[in-house]
Amino acid sequence: MTSTATRPATRPDPNAALATKPEPNASPTAPNTLGGLVHTMLTRGSPRILLALVLAFGAFRVYLGGWSWVDLVVPVVILVWWPFQEWLIHSYLLHFKPRKLGPFTIDSMQAAKHRRHHLHPWDFEEISIPLHTYVYAVPILCALGYVFRDVPAVFTGLTVFLGFGVHYEWCHFMAHSNYVPKSKLYKAVWRNHRLHHFKNENLWMGVSSRVGDLALGTCPDQKTVERSPTCRTLGVAPPA
């Protein structure tokens, strides 16, 4: 007669479930495969605009030639700066709360869209960078390219910077899909953003990188953080 040893029951960690699974009411139509995620992302305007700009500036950079050591330094500078730029924009621009100035309310389109994104985190229409951003961003980028058309490294910078923008969109779409990344690095970024949405909206501000959070103290052990009641509203009453 054989006996089978049984392990003592352990209490499940609700925080672990929060960070590793979609919300129970996640959209069943959200992609759950890598191919489905790529297809969904490429049907949205912002990623397609970014990809077109990367190809355009990148092709012009190759056409200019004249490669130098500066072309190696510029991407490194952008790599170091990007997580902090992402953290600052997310913390102060996207989480900007409407303010009263006499009879007027001061708000921004970006912040209003971001509040809708928190309120409806599985709505893929609210995930990507707002299209109106490109109305002024594209002319500015083209003007920079024209002014510095004789400085090849500028086009290296523009190409790499916009490439990071594509990567940002990819990480953001991934975090709001039913696809669970396989690599340790992407899974950490994926979990980081979900904690921001469903645990505490004032923490875990990075979307495509955790570097800014780690450096600026907004990436604590999730077990030490209470769930915020304003994760979905950002402390602003949604419009009626």
* Poorest-pLDDT segment among 16-20, 149-153, 162-166, 181-185: 16-20
Mean pLDDT of 87-93: 97
Does the structure show a pLDDT above 80 at 39?
yes
Q: Exposed, middle or buried by CB within 10 Å (0-12, 13-18, 19+), for 92?
A: exposed
Element of type H or E holding 29: none
- As beta bridge partners, residue 105 has 100
CA distance linking residue 86 with residue 80, whole number of Å: 11
- Tens-digit pLDDT profile for residues 136-170: 999 999 999 899 988 999 999 999 999 999 999 99
Chain-centroid distance of CA 41 in Å reads 13
Confidence of residue 24 (pLDDT cuts 50, 70, 90): very low
- Write down the pTM of the prediction: 0.87
Q: Note whether 86 and 92 are within 8 A (CB).
A: no
CA distance linking residue 97 with residue 108, whole number of Å: 9
Assigned token pair, 110:
């970006």
Considering the chain, what is the average pLDDT of its residues?
88
- Is the C-alpha dihedral spanning 30, 34, 35, 40 positive or negative? positive
Assigned token pair, 61:
């950079």
User: CA–CA distance from 49 to each of 3, 41, 44, 45, 82 (Å)?
Assistant: 64, 12, 9, 6, 19
Q: Note whether 49 and 165 are within 8 A (CB).
A: no
Return the half-sphere exposure (C-beta side, CA atoms, 13 A cut-off) of residue 47: 20
CA distance linking residue 191 with residue 186, whole number of Å: 8
Return the half-sphere exposure (C-beta side, CA atoms, 13 A cut-off) of residue 174: 25
Assigned token pair, 7:
């392990």
Residue reference for tokens 């396989």: 182
> Of 103, 138, 121, whose CA–CA distance to 30 is shortest?
121
Amino acid at 128: S
Residue reference for tokens 């949405």: 197
Amino acid at 116: R
Spell out the domain ranges in the chain: 33-180
Mean pLDDT of 12-25: 43
CA distance linking residue 159 with residue 76, whole number of Å: 13
